[in-house]
Amino acid sequence: MADILVPFEQEGTKAVVRAWLKQVGDAVAVNDPLVELETDKVTQEVHATAAGVLAEILLDTDAEAVPGTVLGRLGEATAAAPEASDGEAESGLAISGDVPTAAPAPAQAAPGALSPSVRRAVQQHGVDPASIAGTGRGGRLTRADVDRAVANRAAPASPPVTPEVAQLAGVRTIPHDRMRVAIAQNMLNSVTVAPHVTAVFECDLSAITAHRRKYKAAFEEQGAKLTFTAYFVAASVEAMRVAPTINSRWFDDRLEVYADVGVGVGTALGDEGLVVPVVQRAQTLSLLGVASALTDLTARARARKLTPADMRGGTFTISNHGVSGSLLATPIIINQPQSAILGIGKLEKRVVVREVDGIDTIQIRPMCYVSLTIDHRVVDGHQTNGWLSRFVEVIEGWPLDG
């Protein structure tokens, strides 16, 4: 027997069994998808590490799947039964059993390529699988693909109107999906357990705007999009040097401060929520390296092709909420068990006073508000302001040829 184990997920997330793709007794080849797990961030498939048959299912649909838990077990494949004689085949009797069984119906080509979970879903909702783009391995259709297609269809019939909303027209009910419920639970947990405090600084983006203008085309030639976020990641790494406790995680019995800086970058998926892929070991990367990593992670996030490994190892998070027009958001909820999260507001040209040769001058500069929300159990205002001061200093002093 070989155990089928729940992989280790991103810290702080809870996985549930979404659907088994094989049933007990089904033959399994190496790398066959066996079961779909879902967290608040991604849906992943657990694949077979050995050939055999699915002998046992221990965690069924909707069961909580703790990392390392046994989901089920694979057994050795049994020898194939000898072929039945013509008479036995006509009678529909198996050689080794006494119970008559009906001959299996021929599988249709398209549905035959679908997992049992997906087959049930398309039949239940009357969806044509050929009309849905698959995001699984090799373009295979997953249960999440079907769920999205069903959700995007015409709005369901209006639900019964309760007295409280009897005077409101156009009411429709949108059931919470698992990702939204998990996000809600994580957000509530974070503000419940951690005292959030936010400090806000102004930041002049003139230097990085000029640098980006000069090097954007060169980065694109190497397959990397030079976004402002790449500079924010690099400046965050530098700021950790003056306040290393910001790069930490709080646990009930200890605080872990890390040498590696794993920077999670919030990436919106429209109405489907938010994912936070991680730029791993950002302190080892050049600006080009950071830009390349962000280009890859963002593309795969929007194509729904992130893996749990892409979400793991975050020690700090950036929320670039300004891309949607927000000037300031506070507090931005900390991604537990991390100790802080950086918020970047909308870039906006503003009139500022700058001293030139000892004389105050009025200038127009590209400005934004940057905020650092911290877990006050971990750090105080001194470290918070020191971190932000260094962050702003790096951004505003970025060398044109650096």
Cis before 195? omega within 30: no
| 376 is a catalytic site residue | yes
Q: Using one digit for the tens of pLDDT, what is the confidence trace for 226-243?
A: 999 999 999 999 999 999
d(CA 21, CA 118): 8
Name all contacts of 52-58 with Cβ < 8 Å and 24+ positions apart: 52/2, 52/27, 52/28, 52/76, 52/77, 53/25, 53/26, 53/27, 53/28, 53/77, 53/78, 54/22, 54/23, 54/24, 54/25, 54/26, 54/28, 55/1, 55/24, 56/24, 57/20, 57/24
Confidence of residue 172 (pLDDT cuts 50, 70, 90): confident
CA angle 62, 64, 68 (to 5 degrees): 135
- Segment 90-143, tens digit of pLDDT: 333 333 333 344 334 333 334 446 776 677 677 767 778 888 888 776 777 877
Sheet holding 64-65, edge to edge: 43-47, 33-38, 15-20, 64-65
User: Coil, helix or strand for 313?
Assistant: coil
pLDDT mean over 323-328: 92
Q: Regarding beta strands 359-375 and 196-204, do their DSSP bridges make them parallel or antiparallel, or are they unpaired?
A: antiparallel
* Residues sharing a CB contact under 8 Å with residue 375, sequence separation 6 or more, in sequence order: 194, 195, 196, 250, 334, 338, 339, 340
Give bridge partners of residue 16 from the DSSP assignment.
Answer: 38, 64
Where is pLDDT greater, at 37 or 262? 262
Whether pTM > 0.85 for this model: the answer is: no
Helix ranges restricted to H, 42-141: 86-91, 109-112, 116-125
**Which residue has tokens 């797990």?**
37
Distance CA 192, CA 178 (A): 21
The residue type of 153 is: R
The pair of structure tokens assigned to 150 is 């069903």
* Confidence at residue 93, expressed as pLDDT on a 0 to 100 scale: 31
Confidence category of residue 259, pLDDT binned at 50, 70, 90: very high
Q: How sure is the predictor about 337, in pLDDT bands with cuts at 50, 70 and 90?
A: very high
Q: For this structure, is 380 an active site residue? A: yes
Q: Is 385 exposed, middle or buried (0-12, 13-18, 19+ CB in 10 A)?
A: middle
Query: Which residues, other chains included, contact 63 with Cβ-Cβ below 8 Å and sequence gap of 6+?
Result: 16, 17
Q: Name the average pLDDT for the chain.
A: 82
Of the ranges 38-42, 73-77, 257-261, 322-326, which one carries the lowest mean pLDDT score?
38-42
If one compares 392 and 137, the residue with the highest pLDDT of the two is 392
Helix (H) or strand (E) holding 348: strand 348-356
Q: Is the pLDDT of residue 85 over 80?
A: no
Q: Which carries the bigger pLDDT value, residue 270 or residue 9? A: 270
Q: Name the pLDDT band for 171 (thresholds 50, 70, 90).
A: confident
Contacts of 288 (CB under 8 A, 6+ apart): 219, 222, 224
Single out the catalytic residue among 26, 62, 271, 380.
Answer: 380
- pLDDT over 70 (residue 81): no
Catalytic residue of the set 47, 376, 382, 401: 376
In this predicted structure, the answer to whether residue 41 has a pLDDT above a threshold of 90 is no
* Helix pair 143-151, 116-125: axis angle to 10 deg: 20
Query: 17 is written with which tokens?
Result: 């069994």
How far is the C-alpha of 307 from the C-alpha of 63, rounded, in Å? 21
Do β-strands 274-275 and 33-38 pair in parallel, antiparallel, or remain unpaired? unpaired
∠ CA(239), CA(243), CA(246), 5° rounding? 90
- The DSSP bridge partners found for residue 28 are 52
pLDDT band at 396 (very low <50, low <70, confident <90, very high): very high
